[in-house]
Amino acid sequence: MAKCTHLAAAIQRHTTAGSLLLLMFSVIIFGPRLWDTIRGEPWIENKLAIVQNSSGAIVVEDAILTRGAVHGLRANTVEAEDGSVLCSTEHHNTWLGERNRFWRIQAFTGCPPPSDPYRICSRFVIASDSGRQRYFGPFCSGLAKPE
Amino acid sequence: MPDDPQLWWRAAANARSPEVWAGILAGMIYVYNKSPLPARGARAAEAMVSGLLAYATGEWVAAWAGVHEAIAVILLASLGYLILDVARSLVADRQILKEILIKRLGGRNG
């Protein structure tokens, strides 16, 4: 049977300690990103809105969409009109698929709604399969003007 | 006009930091030393191919992998030629590889 002489010669040329070391470094440096590309990067989309429910209370509508199960840290903030953070809260969670929830502002952000115009924002720190961290957000609601 | 900033080589040199150029050069020297070819010109050409590959793709690969560009170009310049060399040998042996595959899959050649 014929042999792959060119391929055998190329492999022989490159199976030296130096090349193997460089290949190992490449796997260490590029491997995690390559693995995430093959497996699919974690991804999360969030839409926030400050709305009034049927009983007249102000609540946060929190719609989340993910591709696959996503695990990470979420930081929710109340921000003034100029973007300064008035208060915040954070928690770890796992999100999967599409979900839409309504929260009281105090439960969502850890502080009561301010008397000045404000918006609600969320930021996510998501870990990929290989352990790389990715940042998503800020996802912000529109500006709410308390009466 | 050697001081003309529009000269292409000056623009190309200024497009990368000294660390990145050091990384490209390190990879090129490695390829030059490793080359099995006896002629110096051919070895230099191999090293040049690797260096140009690293220069052309280093910025994109570094951003993609989230690493410093100098790290990316060292690996690209050192391994770029290895990947090309293996790919070239696969193309050179394509007929034999095709026969082996057909045989393994139980088919008949021709």
Residue range B58-87, pLDDT digits in tens: 999 998 888 899 999 999 998 877 887 888
CA A120 to CA A111: how far, in whole Å? 11
- Give 10-residue mean pLDDT values along chain B (110 residues): 66 85 92 84 89 92 89 90 82 86 72
- Mean of per-residue pLDDT scores for chain A: 86
The arithmetic mean of pLDDT across residues A115-142, rounded, is 87
The arithmetic mean of pLDDT across residues A139-147, rounded, is 86
Least confident of A37-41, A135-139, A141-145, B96-100: A37-41
The arithmetic mean of pLDDT across residues A63-67, rounded, is 89
Q: Where are the domains of chain B?
A: 8-80
CA A126 to CA A42: how far, in whole Å? 7
CA B73 to CA B19: how far, in whole Å? 10
Q: Where are the domains of chain A?
A: 5-39, 44-140
What's the per-residue H, E or C state across chain B? CCCCCCCHHHHHHHCCCHHHHHHHHHHHHHHHHHCCCCCHHHHHHHHHHHHHHHHHHHHHHHHHHCCCHHHHHHHHHHHHHHHHHHHHHHHHCHHHHHHHHHHHCCCCCC
Say whether A113 sits in a helix, a strand or coil: coil
Tell me, yes or no, if the pTM score tops 0.90.
Answer: no
Interface probe with A: pick from B75, B94, B104, most Cβ of A within 10 Å: B75
Residue range A73-88, pLDDT digits in tens: 999 999 988 888 888 9
Answer whether A101's CB lies under 8 Å from A74's CB. Answer: no
CB contact under 8 A, B88 and A6: yes
Domain A44-140 architecture: Sandwich (2.60)
Contacts of A4 in chain B (CB under 8 A): 89, 93, 96-97, 100
How many Cα atoms occupy the beta-carbon half-sphere of A27 within 13 Å? 6
pLDDT score for B108: 59
Who wins on pLDDT, B84 or A120?
Answer: A120
pLDDT score for B110: 47
Query: What ipTM did this prediction achieve?
Result: 0.71
Contacts of A30 in chain B (CB under 8 A): 61, 65, 75
Looking up tokens 């290949």, which residue turns up?
Answer: A23
Partner residue opposite A2 with nearest CB, options B67, B79, B96: B96
Angle between helices B69-92 and B18-34 (to 10 degrees): 30
pLDDT score for B109: 52
